[in-house]
Amino acid sequence: MRHAGKLITFEGPDGAGKTTQIQLTAQVLEESGYSVVRTREPGGTRLSEAIRQLLLDPCYKEMSGVTEALLYAGARAQLVSEVLLPALAAGNVVLCDRFVDSSLAYQGYGRGLDLEMLRVINTFALHKLGTFCTVLLDLPPEEGLGRSAGVAERDRLEQENLSFHRRVRDGYLILARDYPGRIKVVNASADPRLVQEQIQEYVMAYLTGRDQGGAFE
């Protein structure tokens, strides 16, 4: 079966179930004959993974918000040119664990950086990317952080206080309200199988062309 390449990004607070649901979605799509490429942010290329280390290491307490935003955009630009554009040109369905909405939610709504400036640097980073679809896994931050408690040391962003994570969650919901064509909200507090059912509906609507998705703007 041959399909045009399409990008689906998964967003949401820490512990929302992004990695879990990407795994399940990839399985279902592959069983239906789609060729699936999975990747993640920050990361997904050699250079972007090196930037990831800088971004998440709790030792860099001095990192300014602007530096953080530019490093994310840099890692993203490399992922777009080295992985996303070629994979889409080759007709794959690309599932990406976090993408540009994370920058607006965390650096914009979470840290309070200028949203217009974030849009400008990310438009530059996404050069030529076109339309995509975004699944937003929504849940209260306490719940997400609770799920991953004790599993591993919290990274630099996970260590932020609860009010930061509340602003991130609210920011994501504002983005979903502003871009309803591209961003689809799923209740991530539900049982993983129910979450996956809802995701399947959105993903299949997008892949079959019933839903158009949208460009980053």
Ligand X SMILES: Nc1ncnc2c1ncn2[C@@H]1O[C@H](COP(=O)(O)OP(=O)(O)OP(=O)(O)O)[C@@H](O)[C@H]1O
Site residues for ligand X per CB under 6 A: 12, 14-20, 147-148, 188, 190-192, 195
Specify the residue, 17 or 108, whose C-beta has the smaller distance to ligand X.
Answer: 17
Binding mask 4-43 vs Mg ion (x if CB under 5 A, - otherwise)? --------------xx------------------------
For residues 192 and 188, give the distance between their C-alpha atoms in angstroms, rounded to a whole number. Answer: 8
192 versus 209: smaller Cβ distance to ligand X: 192
Smallest gap from Cβ 51 to ligand X, in A, equals: 17
Smallest separation (angstroms) from Mg ion to the CB of 91: 26
| Nearest distance in Å: CB 159, ligand X | 12
Tell me the site size for Mg ion, rule CB under 5 A: 2
Rounded to whole angstroms, how far apart are CA atoms 176 and 167? 14
Give the N- to C-terminal CA distance of the chain in Å, as an integer: 32
Q: In the complex, what is the shortest distance from the CB of residue 16 to ligand X, in angstroms, rounded to a whole number?
A: 4
114 torsion bin: left (phi>0), alpha (psi -120 to 50), beta (else): beta
* Angstrom distances, CA of residue 1 to CA of 22, 31, 77, 187, 191: 21, 11, 30, 31, 31
The two beta strands, 183-187 and 6-11, are unpaired
Positions in the binding site for Mg ion (CB under 5 A): 18-19
